Chain A
């Protein structure tokens, strides 16, 4: 049924704008597209008002390409740079209030499960570091403790970019930003540990300069959230404006930061591993064959 939503109403094909026709004819709905095919299909997010050289935009594009069922995916967000792009994607985006994205997603996920049962309706929260770790902190943590089955993605640019460069809880200690005129006084919040303590079934930290890795973690996170529990991805998506990173150095910065303090990490609960192996055939999580010598010993 969902694919009907991206089809033409009979008789209207010739009158639809080219953007829309491209989306219907060359979009990813109902197809298996990958990041390695970028440039050969119409992306769900193409046009956006983000700054030149924005790493966050690249990450969002990659993340949306990685959605396993874009035709059955609803994104939820809050104020911040990210939503300026996400809201222009060709899938629904819910903006509730400041920092309540994980509350809205909790209700949305439950409401859709009531109505559609086992049919996957993927709910994905995409919000910034301020939205996730500061103003939305309570609702984020509680959604994890309640084991709400949806994915939370933090676009971590380590600053309130959209409002002009204020310190956030995810800013590193010592950084001089607006509202931190003497430098930030406390450490960057460890949301990864909190996600683990709160019971997330899958947690990953990632940077955008490895598209295949981004695709892999997003796909796993969304699939696990369907049945197992909450999943969390924390992505370093630098703000080249507020941190004065030259546009041609943005990917270099991402690599440097990855090597320094944003290394790729991935936690998969045992239950999630078994689920990915059994339900979706992930070979990396299939039980290792035990050597015959051991079994016969």
Chain B
């Protein structure tokens, strides 16, 4: 089926299958005051999802349950609760193998429990979308915001995007399917946000019309045959190469892994077109830049405002996609900067490490401030980090400076 052939027709809920470019860019938007979880529901209402599989784990449980309501209303083809995140991701894989558009959500320890599936999804070229509402994965148990799980996802072969706001989330859920279902891409997408900060806070989000939805997924645009016995040739998974210890076996696996990462690279042009670039910049001619992703960007904006009041000019680079990684964009955006501040919500500073490995003169990168375990990141600690870097005396925080 050619998905464009259904444009203008209606689904069983009366929604019109709409050209995604018109739906996302030209259709009127309605400002709505929603939590992040409700925004996920509203995006999925318009995403022509065939199968959603749910499992409770804070802070994504509400979104996963709200999509159950959509199923009850008839917007989703099939929906059920799996028995663990590992099972859910396997069930998602099965549905995608069968040619369905699949959606799921997870968080923190759920992401880690499901982890075996993610490289398998990428290797099998299944364009599943998984929302990751990041939280702590450490012991002692924490349910609070922490982005450390993203560092694991970045090595799986999946596309990994990191939303700052609920508006990002809404738009990127819908655009994400358009990118990941491109025949030359056809990869799963981990669409991440900082749990609670985005999922449980209310924000004004401009929604597309309720009566418009994405065209359905066409599994025959997949670069590998869908497992429905309708589409030659026979497709096998992993075997028989696994049992061969010879050069052909190694070369087959090696070339396929390279192809998966090449597919992620090929997603760049589609992502740039949909997201208006892999990064977003403000005042990058300033000596000092804040470069980060997620809600750390929002805190960075506040820090920039505070510093502007004191006459210190700071620019901003918001990284939207982590895979593909915006290497050239970052080199260009940071070329004038003398100090590159990387605030992060995790203990290891994976973002700073990635940036250091990307840009020339990496000593310019200041890997911090970092908070973790659910701590908030007051803009003042970013301000203090910048002042310390510049050698400006700071007396803003009690006990420091």
Contacts and interface: CB of A to CB of B under 8 A. Distances in A.
A114 B100 contact: yes
B33 to A, nearest CB: 34
A115 B82 CA distance: 21
Query: What 8 A-B pairs are tightest by C-beta distance, nearest first?
Result: A107-B94, A111-B98, A103-B90, A87-B239, A100-B90, A107-B95, A108-B94, A111-B100
A5 B225 CA distance: 11
Interface in B82-111: 82-84, 86-88, 90-100, 102
A142 B87 contact: yes
A146 B87 CA distance: 13
Interface residues of A, number: 43
B97 A111 contact: yes
A105 B87 contact: no
Contacts of B51: 107, 110-111, 114
Contact of B91 (A74, A93, A103): A103
Interface of A: 1-2, 4-6, 49, 71-74, 76, 83-84, 87-88, 90-98, 100, 103-112, 114-116, 121, 138-139, 142, 146
Contacts of A98: 116
Given A73-B229, A115-B228, A92 B235 contact: yes
A146 B91 CA distance: 13
B395 interface: no
Interface of B: 50-51, 53, 77-78, 80, 82-84, 86-88, 90-100, 102, 116-117, 120, 219, 227-240, 243
7 contacts: A73-B229, A92-B227, A103-B90, A105-B94, A108-B94, A108-B227, A115-B100
Given A5-B232, A74-B229, A95 B239 contact: yes
B94 A139 contact: no
A87 B116 contact: no
Contacts of A74: 227-229
Contacts of A104: 90-91, 93-94, 97
A139 B234 CA distance: 26
A252 to B, nearest CB: 29
Given A105-B94, A114-B78, A91 B229 contact: yes
Contacts of A146: 80
B237 A106 contact: no
Given A74-B229, A84-B240, A110-B51, A96 B80 contact: no
A96 B229 contact: no
Contacts of A107: 51, 53, 90-98, 100, 102
A111 B237 CA distance: 18
Contacts of B231: 5
A5 B228 CA distance: 10
Nearest to A98: B116
B50 to A, nearest CB: 6
A73 B229 CA distance: 7
Given A88-B239, A107-B53, A142-B82, 19 more contacts: A5-B229, A74-B227, A87-B237, A91-B234, A92-B235, A94-B237, A95-B236, A95-B237, A97-B86, A97-B90, A98-B116, A100-B93, A106-B94, A111-B51, A111-B102, A115-B228, A121-B229, A138-B83, A138-B84
Contact of B243 (A2, A84, A103): A84
